[in-house]
Amino acid sequence: MAPAASPAVEPVVGEPAAVADLEDERALLVADVHAGIEVGLRYERGVELDSRADERRERLCALIAETDADRLVVLGDLAHRIAAPEGDEREELVELIRAVTDRVPMTLVEGNHDAGVAEAFAENLDVIGAGGGILGANGGDSSTADAGVGVLHGHTWPEPDLLDADVICMGHEHPQVRLEDAVGGSRVERAWLRGTLDPAAFVEGGDADPGSVADPPELVVFPAFNERSGGTWVNVDGQSFLAPFLPDALPAGDAYLLDGTRLGDYRRV
């Protein structure tokens, strides 16, 4: 059974993606697509890999169809290289964005790799700044109001208003777990992290008053969509988190594999 992050957010079994049922639309959420990663690895490390650009684009489009999504939301790092996209990387982004937006609108939450992307494709994308935002919030009295789904990448301190959301979804960490068998073999798997947020640790300087947040939102840390992008081994000593508010903002939480297997406390897997 897949982990249910919130009544409004449901991971897609077997995929590094989730569906958020908002007030007036269904959004497909993914994080860390890292389009053009093969170009980046060649430039950064001298590693030559065949491009999986077509596969990434086709997977996204297939997920949009399979989930009947009305919008694609990328939780940051749509592109891999931090500079303005060019060459093969830009070509992959052009084709990917065109394929998606021919089907549904596309929202990009700016990640640390996306400044050039947001500028280059501003006419094709809805862009939410690095501090994050809330999707699908509506008004109404306290019994009917929907606080919506908070979204951010996670590389910088978030906007405090995100604490008003029912659930907050983020990327950036690329969480993974290292699993060992009885004979000493091991493998690394992408994972979801999920737990109740500590509001004081989530806001820069610890200025949030925990007492002012009657029902703290749930925090869901997404696995990377791109399986080549590496990640943080959350259950291995010495691994450092990347977000400035983690792990303090997630003092207790569970890890789940993509197939929905619950592994328990992410720090003790």
pTM greater than 0.85 (yes/no): yes
Would you call 151 helix, strand, or coil by DSSP? strand
Please report the pLDDT score of residue 2 as a whole number. 53
Task: Say if residues 192 and 223 touch (Cβ distance below 8 Å).
Answer: yes
Handedness of CA 243, 245, 246, 249 (dihedral sign): negative
Q: How many angstroms separate the CA atoms of 134 and 73, rounded?
A: 12
- Angle, alpha carbons 160-72-258 (nearest 5°): 85
Give tens-digit pLDDT for 19-52. Answer: 999 888 999 999 999 988 887 666 666 667 788 8
> Considering only CA atoms, which of 86, 47, 89 is closest in space to residue 228?
47
Give tens-digit pLDDT for 49-101. Answer: 788 889 999 999 999 999 999 999 999 999 887 666 667 888 899 999 999 99
In this predicted structure, the answer to whether residue 145 has a pLDDT above a threshold of 80 is no
Residues 6+ apart with CB under 8 A from 121: 93, 97
Q: How many angstroms separate the CA atoms of 234 and 104, rounded?
A: 34
Q: Which residue has the tokens 């939410």?
A: 128
Handedness of CA 35, 40, 42, 45 (dihedral sign): negative
In this predicted structure, the answer to whether residue 144 has a pLDDT above a threshold of 60 is no
Please report the pLDDT score of residue 139 as a whole number. 47
**Within 13 Å of residue 138, how many CA atoms lie on the same side as its CB?**
12
Amino acid 159 reads E
Residue 229: pLDDT band with limits 50, 70, 90:
confident
Range with the largest mean pLDDT of 67-81, 143-157, 170-184, 208-222:
67-81
Decide which of 268 and 244 is more confident. Answer: 244
